[in-house]
Chain A
Amino acid sequence: MTRHWYKTITRPFKVARKPTTHRLKMRLFPGLSSLNATETLPVSAHWRRIFIMPSAAGWFFGFSLVLMLIASLNFNNNMGLMLTFWMMGLAQVLLLATFLNLREVRVARLQAKAVHAGETANVHLSLEAPNPRPGIFVGWRQRRVEKNALDQTLAHFSAVATVLPAGTTVTLPLPCPQRGAIPVPQLTIWTRHPAGMFTAWIYLRPRQHLLVYPQPEKNAPPWTGPNDTGHTTWRRGAGEEFDSVRPYQAGDPVRLIAWKRSAQQQELVSREYHGHHRGNVVFQWTRVSHLPVEQALSRLTAWIIRAEEAGLNYSLNLPGFTSNPAQGHAHLHQCLRALALYGEKPGETVLSESLSKPSL
């Protein structure tokens, strides 16, 4: 059973036939850094994929232990040697304790609401463990050789939590500068608990994409195209000039509720418009095709959002995409997604998502 989450996209995972040794490595050591393969969640921190190294504190302690060892050995100081070896034993115990603190931590889900380009998405990771694990850090992978601004900045975001058996959610900010289906960057999950001497970590690249809508154009010119009733403009705002009211139904947008009337009638009522003077706005690609692509998408995005806010019926025509005239949350998302994915090769992206609200 695969899980599909709100506004995240799963792409089909195509693996070119790799040499046998590579496949063997994949099998034995899944998710090692050299293998940049994406994985389907949930992923558990199996012992074979855990890295462990001394932290800066660990190296410092190691250095002082070596000094202690040399001094004790030189004078054959047995109590000094005993203390030194005891501390070495402690280091070994702490190494294993740190390792065990990360082992079996499971990344169960990854969820994120779609954002517009230029905003920061909040990526929610659900972690689970068979018993409480304090001090589990989650962050975007920090590369030694940082390739670009994205890598540099991502390294600065991290979150820490105590992972409980019932599940713990941590939130990682992910700046999204560009629209489109953005692959989730590689994650590092690490811990230094219980003594900060060692860092145990795993790398993980979930096979998921974040959907980033185009940025709505600021101060976009008003829509001047025709609608199907012949009007060339549309008025902003739902206004008070509605045609009738009907009892509130689950799913009606809040802004459609006629509050004054509801107060009078002692029950919630929704406004009802009849299409005769409002019409259906059709946003057409041809209207903006003279602009650069990104700006065109930006303008369409701004128009669609305005139309939705105004409570109009609207449809969108893009090359390779045509929507029915409608309004509402789901329709808005459908249109914005089409704009976000404009230019993506259709065969490559399989959009499969549920419109149910994320259960966070």
Chain B
Amino acid sequence: MASYSTTDFKRGLKIMLDNDPCSIIENEFVKPGKGQAFSRVKIRNLKTGRVIERTFKSGEKVEAADVTDVDMQYLYNDGEAWHFMDPESYEQVAADEAAVSDAKLWIKEQDECIVTLWNGNPISVTPPNHAILTVSETDPGVRGDTASGATKPATLESGAVVQVPLFIDIGDVLKVDTRSGEYISRSKE
């Protein structure tokens, strides 16, 4: 089994911790004047998304996690799993609800997503930063109101609810930022 020493630690390194794959966010080297050195590390659990702090004695070894990020196309949801395909190898994977998590609110069929695989199995899905989605439900648009800055909620075809300007109507196609969940503009697509 591959392993890393604390001297290999850097942002983005994938390690196993408490039997879960994790990614190092921050690594701080701590040492008293003389004596034992330590690495104080901020780590994200890639399954739960939770961030924890852990301290390691310098030189300690930890198991490497076999984690890769793959660009994949979202195919369909069969009611239980979300299916993705690697457009190069045509290989398909099925992600469960825990892995898809909030990403499911932003993706529609054929969107390019980043699927994080641990030992070949999907553990998380990152939607494209910008999604193009059609409004499926909102209050009737107020024509001409492009300046007041007032907003209303709109439900998108994928299920996400975003705050939009008052002039937006059902059937409008919007560009939204999936990281902040914010409306960017109407889309011409």
Chains A and B belong together in one complex: no
Residue ranges of B at the interface with A (Cβ–Cβ < 8 Å): none
